Amino acid sequence: MGKIKVLFFISSLAGGGAERVMVDLLRNIDRKKCEPILVLLYPYEDSPYRQYLPEDIRVIVVTRKSDSLPGKLLQLLNFIKTMHKEKPNVIVSMLTHNNIMAMLSGLLFGIRVIACEHNTLSEVIKTKEGGRILGLPVSLLVKIFYRFADKIIAVSEGIRSNLISDFGIMSEKVKTIYNPIDLSRINALIPD
């Protein structure tokens, strides 16, 4: 059996917990079993986590020309085209907006999707920024698309409970896996 083509998807490598987890996964995934590819929505050359990205990782950036609705729709279309071209076996996505894009692509092309949720969504949707995607309510999109994920990883029990109770996700679909800790990186930072 050949390698599994795994497409890892997150918006950027800007400083944040999900971005750190993404880089740690890419650094530690078994290259004998997986062919990892990273897809981003924003350029990463000046990103704080760029320095930790393994050199052998192929990076695809699906940028947009503007923050207007047509610009965002064009970026979504280009992301879907990228999924069709790359034909991954699995998409591992992080953060709500990206998870919805990944699940849409998974539905269109029969790609397995593992979505990682790092936020308590019932709190996020109360904010102006977190409440809508392309003018549509995030809560509705989560309720529609998250049920199509092959697995949803919640980074805490609270997030898992929230997905099940407030968004109607089947409990057997949501698994809690806490954020990894790279002890070797932490130990290397300890002064002698």
CA distances from 110 to 43, 58, 83, 102 (A): 28, 23, 11, 11
Residue 169 lies in a domain: yes
Residue 43 lies in a domain: yes
Write down the pLDDT at residue 131. 67
In terms of domains, do 100 and 31 share one? Answer: no
Write down the pLDDT at residue 184. 76
Checking 57-63 for CB contacts under 8 A at 24+ apart, the result is 57/26, 60/86
Mean pLDDT of 12-17: 87
Average pLDDT, whole number, for the chain?
A: 90
CA distances from 109 to 3, 75, 114, 144 (A): 19, 18, 15, 17
In terms of domains, do 102 and 160 share one? Answer: yes
Lowest mean pLDDT: which of 63-77, 107-121, 149-163? 63-77
Q: 141 or 89: which carries more pLDDT confidence?
A: 89
40-73 residue pLDDT tens: 999 988 888 888 899 999 999 998 888 888 888 8
In terms of domains, do 134 and 51 share one? Answer: no
Residue 74 lies in a domain: no
- Whether the CB-CB separation of 100 and 148 falls below 8 Å is answered with no
In terms of domains, do 119 and 165 share one? Answer: yes
In terms of domains, do 46 and 123 share one? Answer: no
The DSSP call for residue 92 is E
In the chain, the percentage of residues whose pLDDT exceeds 90 is: 63
In terms of domains, do 121 and 56 share one? Answer: no
Write down the pLDDT at residue 66. 83
Write down the pLDDT at residue 19. 93
Residue 184 lies in a domain: yes
In terms of domains, do 109 and 53 share one? Answer: no
- Total domain count, the chain: 2
Orientation of helix 138-145 relative to helix 157-167, angle to 10°: 90
In terms of domains, do 117 and 187 share one? Answer: yes
Residue 52 lies in a domain: yes
* Domain ranges, residue 32: 1-61
CA distances from 104 to 84, 129, 142 (A): 12, 21, 11
In the chain, the percentage of residues whose pLDDT exceeds 70 is: 95
Please, which pLDDT band fits residue 153 given cuts at 50, 70 and 90?
Answer: very high
Under DSSP, is residue 13 helix (H, G, I), strand (E, B) or coil? coil
113 beta partners: 91
In terms of domains, do 130 and 44 share one? Answer: no
Residue 71 lies in a domain: no
* 42 vs 79: CA distance, rounded Å: 12
- The gap from C-alpha 168 to its chain's centroid, in whole angstroms, comes to 21
Q: Give the position of tokens 């930072």.
A: 189
Write down the pLDDT at residue 130. 67
In terms of domains, do 55 and 108 share one? Answer: no
Last residue of a domain, one of 40, 61, 82: 61
Residue 27 lies in a domain: yes
Q: Give the position of tokens 């809560």.
A: 139
In terms of domains, do 99 and 49 share one? Answer: no
In terms of domains, do 56 and 99 share one? Answer: no
Residue 165 lies in a domain: yes
